[in-house]
Amino acid sequence: MTARLLDGKAAAREIYERIAADVAARVAKGGSRPKLATVVVGDDPASAQYVRMKQANAKNVGIDSEDHHLPAATTTEQLLELVESLNRDESVSGILVQQPAPRHIDMTRVITALDPGKDVDGAHPFNAGMLALGFEGGIEPCTPAGIVALLERAGVPIEGANAVVVGRSNLVGKPTAFLLLRRHATVTICHTRTTDLASHSRSADILVAAAGKANLITKEMVKPGAAVIDVGTNWVNGKQVGDLGPGVADVAGWLTPNPGGVGPMTRAMLIKNTFEAEVRRTGG
């Protein structure tokens, strides 16, 4: 392997240390302690596990958390009632509705019902719109913000770089593209209807693989020296793998491990967003 590692665990640790100090200082001055409310619908073990990890991360920096685990048969209306009560709850700084939710849940209604100031995954159209328009002051989605933070921490040049994002979801692909565009990369977004994905990926100085398809990006599809971010989470024979095929580490200049790259940064950004949401909500 020749690529330099974009170490998500180390980068996340630095963020947690900063936030823990900020929370302690805030509480010592008599300020409110931030609280993260997580909502999981259904019995997906991965979702339950992600939420447990997010709560542990919150606790470790002094942020309170509460989990609302609803049965799979919960209706959209029932979920909306919970979201609205969390919106009104003065003790709650941020709300995360873990995705994917069961198919019968209308996530568009749920996301648009969130108080944009408590929307700590930056999914509400207000926050998404702020990002798309290049305005400051919205909440940035956790995974995309974590990706960009990893690139910046490593000093990967973004301005003027050719960035290719594989995936166009509202959660990952599109907001990652907008964050890179905001930093003056030239951005291409690829998806399942893209013809000749390899011709795009080979032009990328920064390649973000967020398709959720194991082995989608082979080493032949990577420009030598590129920064490659492996977002995908796939399970192959009980083992977590990303979207990259074997040998990419020998071609890339920088690479995120998977696991240990984007995942830890996603959670760190959630904790950061929760702290900042509380600071904004309380006026300081």
Q: What does the binding site for ligand NAP look like in residue numbers (CB under 6 A)?
A: 143, 166-169, 171-173, 190-194, 197, 210-213, 216, 231-234, 262-263, 266
Q: How far is the CB of 30 from ligand NAP (least distance, A)?
A: 35
Q: Which of 22, 35, 64, 98 is catalytic?
A: 98
| Closest approach of ligand NAP to the CB of residue 10, in Å | 16
9 is catalytic: no
Gap between the Cα atoms of 201 and 214, Å rounded: 16
For 7-33, give one letter per residue: b (16+ CB within 10 A) or e: bbeebbeebbeebbebbeebeeeeeee
Residue, CB closest to ligand NAP: 212
By beta-carbon proximity to ligand NAP, the closer residue of 35 and 168 is 168
Give least dist CB 189 to ligand NAP, A.
8
Of the two residues 26 and 168, which places its CB atom closer to ligand NAP in the complex?
Answer: 168
Rounded CA-CA distance 138/70 in Å is 29
Q: Which of 7, 22, 119, 121 is catalytic?
A: 121
Contact indicator for 266, 10 with CB cutoff of 8 Å: no
Q: Closer CB to ligand NAP, residue 107 or residue 172?
A: 172
Q: Which CB, 5 or 279, lies closer to ligand NAP?
A: 5
Provide Rg for the chain, Cα atoms.
19
Instruction: Tell me which residue of 147, 142, 159, 146 sits closest to 99, measured CA to CA.
Output: 142
**In DSSP terms, which residues pair with 95 in a beta bridge?**
37, 119
Question: Is 98 tagged catalytic?
Answer: yes
Q: Which residues are catalytic?
A: 54, 98, 121
